[in-house]
Amino acid sequence: MKTLIKSGTIITSSETFQGDILIDGERIRLIGKNLDDAGAQVVDAAGKLIMPGGIDPHVHLDLPMFGTVSSDDHYTGHKAAAYGGTTTVMDFVPQGDRKLEEDIEIWRNKANPKAAIDYSFHMNITRLDNQVEKEISHLSGLGINTVKVFMAYNERLRLNDGEIFRVLRIAKENGLLTLLHAENGDVVDILTAEALQAGKTSPEWHAHTRPAWGAVETFLRGSALAAQAGAPIYVVHMNTAGEVEQLRYVRQKGLPVMGETCPAYLFFTTDHLRQPDGAKWICSPPLRTTEDNQELWNGLADDSIQTIGTDHCPFFFDGKKPIIYENEEIAIPGKELGANDFTKIPNGLPGVGDRMPIMWTYGVRSGKITANQFVAKTSTNIAKIFGLYPRKGALLPGADADIVVWDPDRRLTYGVAYSHHRTDYNLFEDWELVGFPEKVFLRGRMIVDGDRWLGKPGMGEFLIRGNPQIL
C-alpha cells in the first residue's frame, strides 16, 4: 500500500522545508516537491506540519510497585503515546534472580501481544556478580544496547560505586551505553527516617527527603566513574539546575556524558506537593523549584541537554473509584495507598501522551526552543543515542514511515479526555494548547486519525538496536 502526504511543511532536526512524502509499505520511499503516484492514497497536509514520530526513551509500563502496578500496560501506554505523536517507546526490564536473558523474555512476553507501537528495552542492573557480568556482555545479541544503574534505593536497586564502575567497564568493552539514576541513597534513607520519626508524612516531605544536592553530587560522581572507566554515560530525568551546570562542566572537559529531562521538571515544583492533591505529583527524583525549571529550559535551549523523555509511570490518584477505559470499568490501587505516609505513595506520573503537545505549545510556540530542537530532543537525538537511527527518528528515504501530521492551529483545552492514559488524572488538566497531532503513522499504517484510534494490540514490533552514538 502506498500513501502520499502532500503539500506539508516538513520539519526535521536540522531543516524546515515544503514537500511531499511518498510511503511505500512500511518505509519512506521518496521525499520531494510535487510528487505524484497514481496508486497512492493521498493525504492533504496543506497548512500542516510533517515530523518524524516521537520516541520516548523512558517509560515504565505494567511496573509492580508498593503492592500495586503502574496503571498503563503495553497496550494502553502505547495508545496514549500514539495520540500524543509518539510512535516508539523504551521500557525497562527489572532484574530478577534469574538470567538476564530470562528477565528479558518475561518482559517481551508481557509486551508482545499488547504492543500497539514499536518498542525497545533497557536492562536494569540491580544485582552484580561474576555471572551477571558475563551476561551483560551478551545483551547486544538480544537487541539491547543499554543498561541502567542506580545510586539510590538502598537494599533494592542500588549498586555501590565499585559495582557501577565494573558495569561501566563491561558496557564500554561491549559497545553498550550505561544509564544512571543520580540520587544519594544514603542521604535519602537518613532524612526519610528522621521525617517519619518527627511525624512529617505529607507529600511535600517526599521532596524534602531527597535534596537537590544529592542529585548534583551523584551526577558528578557518576560522571567521574564513567571517566575513569573510559565509558559513556546517559543521566536520566535531570531535575535540578545543579545537574545542568555539572553536565556543561563535564562535557566541556570532553567527557561523553549526555542528559535527559522530562516535562514535569520544566513546569512543576515542590509547591504542587503542598496542594490537597499533592500526591499526584509524587515522582522520583522529585519536583524542585522555579529556578530549577528555568535552568532546565536553558539547558534545552543551548543544547546542553540532549533529550526529553517522560519517565511515564502512572498510578490512579484514587484507585478505589473506577474509570471507564475502552467501554469497561477499571480501578487499580494507586496513590491513595499513601494517604497518611508519603513513603507509601507509588512514585510516578503520567506523561507519555502529554510530552509532544505540551512541549510544542509551551516550548516551541513560547520561543523557548525551536521547532528543529523539538524534533531533535523528542525523536532524532534519541534514535541516534540508542542505536535506532536512521530507521527511526528520521524523515529520509528508507526510514520507517513513522510520521506525524501536526495541525499547528488546532486549539484545545487539554486534559484526561485527550491524553488517553489509563488513569484518573492529568497533570496538565485545563491547559490551553495550540497545535496537536492530526494523523499518526506507524511504519506506514495510520493509527491515529483525528480523534479516531485505528491501532490495535500486537501491531507494535520489538526493535533490535544497533550501536549507540555519543552526541
- Helix (H) / strand (E) containing 50: strand 49-52
Number of domain units in the chain: 2
One domain, residues 345 and 407: no
pTM: 0.98
Same-domain check for residues 33 and 124 = no
As averages over each run of 10 residues, the pLDDT of the chain (471 residues) reads 97 98 98 95 98 98 96 98 98 97 97 98 98 97 97 97 98 98 98 98 98 98 98 98 98 97 98 98 98 98 98 98 97 97 98 98 98 99 98 98 98 96 98 98 98 98 97 97
Burial per residue of 35-57, b for 16 or more beta-carbon CB atoms within 10 angstroms, e otherwise: bebeebeebebeebbbbbbbbbb
The CATH number given to whatever domain includes residue 449 is 2.30.40.10
Instruction: State how far the Cα of 309 lies from the Cα of 55, in Å rounded to an integer.
Output: 8
Nearest to 267 by CA among 238, 245, 296: 296
* Residues with Cβ within 8 Å of residue 327, at least 6 apart in sequence: none
Residue 460: inside a domain: no
Q: Are 87 and 59 in contact (CB under 8 A)?
A: no
pLDDT of residue 152: 97
CA pair distance 357, 59, nearest whole angstrom: 17
| Statement to judge: residues 301 and 433 lie in one domain | no
Per the structure, the complete domain to which residue 202 belongs is given by 54-385
Q: Quote the strand ranges of 315-457, DSSP E.
A: 323-325, 328-330, 403-413, 432-442, 445-449, 452-453
285 cis-preceded (ω within 30 degrees of 0)? yes
What is the CATH number for 175? 3.20.20.140
Mind giving me the DSSP string for 87-154? EEEEEEEPP-SS-HHHHHHHHHHHHTTT-SSEEEEEEE-----HHHHHHHTTGGGGT--EEEEESSST
**For residue 276, is the peptide bond before it cis, meaning its omega torsion is within 30 degrees of 0?**
no
Give domain status of residue 462, yes or no: no
pLDDT score recorded for residue 376: 99
Contact 46, 9 (CB under 8 A): no
467 in a structural domain:
no
144 and 256, same domain (yes or no):
yes
pLDDT of residue 274: 97
Between the two ends of the chain, the Cα-to-Cα distance in Å is: 36
Does the residue 206 lie in any domain? yes
CA atoms within 13 A on the CB side of 194: 9
Could you give the C-alpha distances from 153 to 123, 293, 470, in angstroms and in order? 17, 25, 28
- Same domain flag for 211 and 272: yes
303 within domain boundaries: yes
Which of 463, 351, 394, 457 minimizes the C-alpha distance to 118? 463
d(CA 392, CA 52): 8
What's the confidence (pLDDT) of residue 238?
98
Query: Which pLDDT score is estimated for 305?
Result: 98
Whether residue 216 is found in the same domain as residue 143: yes
Q: What is the pLDDT of residue 121?
A: 98
pLDDT recorded at residue 461: 98
7 plus 134 within the same structural domain: no
Residue carrying the nine cell digits 526493535: 463
